[in-house]
Amino acid sequence: MEKVLITGEVPEHAQKMLESAGLNVDVFTGEKLIEKATLMERSQDASFLITPLSTKIDAEVIDHAPKLKLIANFGAGFNNIDTDYAKNKGIMVTNTPFVSTVSTAEVTVGLIISLSHRIPEGDHLMRTTGFNGWAPLFFLGHELSNKVLGIIGMGQIGQAVAERMKAFGVHILYTQHHRLSKQRENELGAEYVEMDNLIESSDIISLHLPLSDKTHHMIGANEFKHMKKNTILINAARGPIIDEDALLSALLGHEIAGAALDVYEKEPIVADEFKKLKNVILTPHIGNATFEARNAMAEIVASNVVASLQNKEPKYIVNGVQTKA
């Protein structure tokens, strides 16, 4: 009986799918993330590995799992896995794209509204000192109508954000390597611009691109210097896309108006300085934290493991390894 190690608890139906396929299912159930030593010990006899993007699968881990055929990442991203080394070892790596789109887009819109209207700040006020009553100049925020929203990365999630934000009457700019079709731009009400233009023109900037060598610290000191002083920055993509030291300096120096972060450069660590700022919203990487999204992700990883077990081609292979005939 071949073994699959699941390095963190996932929706129950995934485990049932794997057991029904005749697999020995080993699930790590610790309260904290699995430690590397435990991961290596429990994966050494595993043929399949299901792991969340919070668990690092490096060359050392892979070398300690000589039977490994497939690493099924529970997440759309896969920068936690040394995919090139896995490829050299003939190990397939898969991810779970697309199913996070709706949830992440909704969270992004929620962060934009919450930061613009100071909703978490108001909630904190009411739970602490309270207020003296309505007043004309009290606790003012900003409407979204007629603001400029700049979307960096117009993939599935970026487009889903644009679809939802269009209803608020914002003017949408976007930039990415490949321009959308004219028809799609018209549907979204979006205008393609170069990065510099977007940075200088946007009242709201939202990041929706993967982490890579090219996108690491894409938003840093130079970009903050060219943003409007009323700009708010939203990151529900990957933490290291932003140079957080530069972001903190920009916030403290009033170069931008605020930020909402769902992901972090040194996740799960969050710099204490951010926690002290009223114009910053911090959420614990909840972009796709819905029953709907996580159930769909579980379905994908379990189906991919079963497919590999049966010598069929899994979906969403990200490192180019194919099923051996």
253 contacts 277 by C-beta, under 8 angstroms: no
Extract the tokens encoding 121.
């700040």
Q: Which of 238, 244, 265, 294 is catalytic?
A: 238
**Is 163 considered catalytic here?**
no
Query: What is the sign of the dihedral through the CA atoms of 163, 165, 166 and 170?
Result: negative
Q: Facing residues of 48 across strands?
A: 4, 70
**Is 285 considered catalytic here?**
yes
Q: What are phi and psi of 96, to 5 degrees?
A: -125, 75
Rounded Cα gap, residues 256 and 240, in angstroms: 19
Rounded Cα gap, residues 207 and 242, in angstroms: 9
Q: Which of 2, 273, 285, 299 is catalytic?
A: 285
Q: Which of 191, 267, 273, 299 is catalytic?
A: 267
**Is 238 considered catalytic here?**
yes
Rounded Cα gap, residues 159 and 193, in angstroms: 15
207 contacts 152 by C-beta, under 8 angstroms: yes
Rounded Cα gap, residues 16 and 26, in angstroms: 12
Catalytic positions are 238, 267, 285
